[in-house]
Amino acid sequence: MPVIEAGQPAPEFSLATYEGDRFTREDLLGRITVLVFYPYAFSPICTDQLSVYQEVLEDFEARGATLYGVSCDAVWSQQAFREKLGLTIQQLSDFEPKGETCRAFGVLHPAGFPERALVMTGPDGTVLWSHQAENPGVTPGANLIFDALDAARV
């Protein structure tokens, strides 16, 4: 199943935060949210996608967009990853039931990890834009998110 398309309502889902809370569809409401699905914490690539987004995070914030990293890693791994890279972008874990949220958004790779995908939702929980990299080795540039914000006129 391909990544959820613009115009569709975001599905019901539940992700775990490091703080021990659940992050659900309700948390998308009232603002622009970008869910950044990535395959694994600590995957061996030279420059991490999230590090690049971190560099322009203030620009996203100025546009009213909040970014979250989503993977199937456990919250502890995500937190360690976050600390290692010095990220302030919050991480959400799809560890148990594993991959269920990724499946609901159409980004679960057959091998059990998230595709590299971006899903932007609007204040009413509708998907404004989505993008899936042609393969998990391709990193989507931050420009794609800025372009989508431009297109959504936010």
Partner 1 sequence: MRGPEGARAVIVYGDYECPFCAALEARLGALELRVTFRHFPVRASHPRAQPAALAAEAAGLQGAFWPFHDALFSDQGRLEDPHLWARAEALGLDLERFDADRRSDAVAARVREDFRGGIRAGVATTPTLFAAGFKHAGRPGPELWEALRQA
In single-letter form, the type of residue at position 113 comes to F
Residue pair 95/103 in contact (Cβ under 8 Å)? The answer is no
Asked if 126 touches partner 1 (CB under 8 A), the answer is no
CB of 24 to partner 1, least distance (A): 28
Separation CA 49–CA 26 (nearest Å):
26
Among the residue ranges 19-27, 33-41, 122-130, 135-143, the one whose residues contact partner 1 (CB under 8 A): 135-143
CB of 28 to partner 1, least distance (A): 25
CB of 105 to partner 1, least distance (A): 21
CB of 14 to partner 1, least distance (A): 28
Whose Cβ is closer to partner 1: residue 12's or residue 45's?
45
Among the residue ranges 15-23, 35-43, 70-78, 137-145, the one whose residues contact partner 1 (CB under 8 A): 137-145
Separation CA 73–CA 79 (nearest Å):
10
Residues 36-95 that bind partner 1 (CB under 8 A): 45-52, 54-56, 85-87
Whose Cβ is closer to partner 1: residue 29's or residue 56's?
56
Among the residue ranges 69-77, 104-112, 122-130, 133-141, the one whose residues contact partner 1 (CB under 8 A): 133-141
User: What positions carry a catalytic annotation?
Assistant: 46
Query: Two tokens at 38?
Result: 């990535």
Residues in touch with partner 1 (CB under 8 A): 45-52, 54-56, 85-87, 137-144, 146
